[in-house]
Amino acid sequence: MSAITFENIFKSYRQTFVLNDVSLILPAGQTTAIVGESGSGKSTLLQLVNGLVRPDRGIIRIEEKELNYQYISSVRKKMGYVVQGAGLFPHLTIRENITLLARLSGWHQHAIDERYDGFLEAFGLNKDLSERYPHSLSGGQQQRVGLCRAMILDPKLLLLDEPFSALDPITREAIYEKFLQVINREKSILLVTHDMNEALKLASYLVILRNGKVIQEGDPYNVANHPVNQYVERFFVGAHG
């Protein structure tokens, strides 16, 4: 089963194509990295999945079921979404931010507390942070909180839009390690990044976009060893898995 299928997707703004006839089948239970320069269309591709953007033409399927934007709210409950800078609510405490979706979904308080405590431990967050507000946390701590919030309902699909790019290299590596420990093999993850090192570290499937078109896709190391052109090859200069 595929996690996400894009069939002949077109999206334009002011007559300029952001996505131009994109067709992809992304594997379930794996992390797929969408890599490309700024303006390549990678974030738009992710936003189509959670309904922030709608295609001009084409069909999107999630687990073989066509995405119906009329019922996007119910679909969103089955996916987690993390953006650069964590996107935390500044007026909510760390506990309130992480548990928000579980509370809105009517979870029993005991189940919420148990899952909350488990995530703090898994991501190396001190429980003393619980009643603090996002502005008082470091960038790395905020990003971990954002990941906890996105994963609190244990979604089968996780969307990550440049979530680690603003962090320093040491903090980024620490979060990679925690993230890889926490995610399970049944979860499908779509990661948007411009960093090939990040893609090689986290992903088992790679898609390279340029000017709204798919240039190459496949196993990251097959792509690295058999780039279709110099544009693809350039991404791997200095990169390491």
184-198 confidence digits (pLDDT tens): 667 899 999 988 999
More confident residue, 84 or 75: 75
Count of positions (residues) in the chain: 241
Confidence class for position 114, pLDDT limits 50, 70, 90: very high
Q: Is 162 helix (H, G, I), strand (E, B) or coil?
A: coil
Q: Give mean pLDDT, residues 211-228.
A: 95
φ and ψ at residue 35, rounded to 5 degrees: -115, 140
Asked whether the predicted pLDDT for residue 238 surpasses 70, the reply is no
CA distances from 186 to 28, 81, 161, 214 (A): 8, 17, 20, 26
* DSSP annotation of 92: S
Specify the DSSP element, H or E, that contains 220.
Answer: helix 220-225
Q: What is the pLDDT of residue 239?
A: 67
Q: Give mean pLDDT, residues 26-39.
A: 92
Quick one: tokens of 209? 């976009």
Per-residue pLDDT reduced to its tens digit, 166-189: 778 888 888 888 888 777 667 899
Burial classification of residue 38, based on how many CB atoms lie within 10 Å of its CB (0-12 exposed, 13-18 middle, 19 or more buried): exposed
228's CB contacts (< 8 A; 6+ apart) are 215, 216
Domain segments of the chain: what residues? 1-77+155-167+183-240, 81-153
CATH topology of domain 1-77+155-167+183-240: Rossmann fold (3.40.50)
For residues 113 and 115, what is the distance between their CA atoms, to the nearest angstrom?
6
For residues 228 and 116, what is the distance between their CA atoms, to the nearest angstrom?
45
Instruction: Single out the residue of 64, 52, 59 nearest to residue 9, CA to CA.
Output: 59
Confidence class for position 136, pLDDT limits 50, 70, 90: very high
Q: Do 84 and 162 meet the contact criterion of CB atoms below 8 Å apart? A: yes
